[in-house]
Amino acid sequence: MKKRGDYRQFAKIHRALANEARLMIVESLEKRERTVGELTKLIGLDQSTVSKHLSILLSAGIVDNRKQANNVYYRLLIPCVMDMFSCTMKVLEKRRSL
């Protein structure tokens, strides 16, 4: 990690994960792909809001999508994102132990 642009990209990816709703989305995509409608029901925010969250995850490169009939299915592109969560969890544990 050297160039200025890399930092920018890294920051963008972390920013994409810096929101409760998007974390819920990513976690729910761990097992299988889901439609926007399913995710909207799951998250409980306005459909347009969920759509915007998805476009943020998409442009960060964390998810991918495919269109089928009326639905757009989103899937997790980078499984190691879930591993990041285990580190995040360590931060929480450490903090609790202080």
Partner DNA sequence: TGACTATTTGGCCATAAAGCCATATACTAA
Partner DNA sequence: TTAGTATATGGCTTTATGGCCAAATAGTCA
Residue 26 backbone zone (phi > 0: left; psi -120 to 50: alpha; other: beta): alpha
Residue 75 binding a second copy, by CB under 8 A: no
Q: Is residue 15 at the binding interface for DNA, with CB under 7 A as the rule?
A: yes
With binding defined as CB under 7 A, does residue 62 bind DNA? no
- CB closer to DNA out of 51 and 88: 51
Binding status of residue 36 toward a second copy by CB under 8 A:
no
Fill in the amino acid letter for 93.
Answer: E
- The helix or strand, by DSSP H or E, that contains position 71, with its residue range, turns out to be strand 71-76
Nearer to a second copy, 20 or 46 (CB): 20
- The footprint of DNA (CB under 7 A) covers 15, 18-21, 35-37, 40, 45-49, 51-56, 65, 67, 69-72
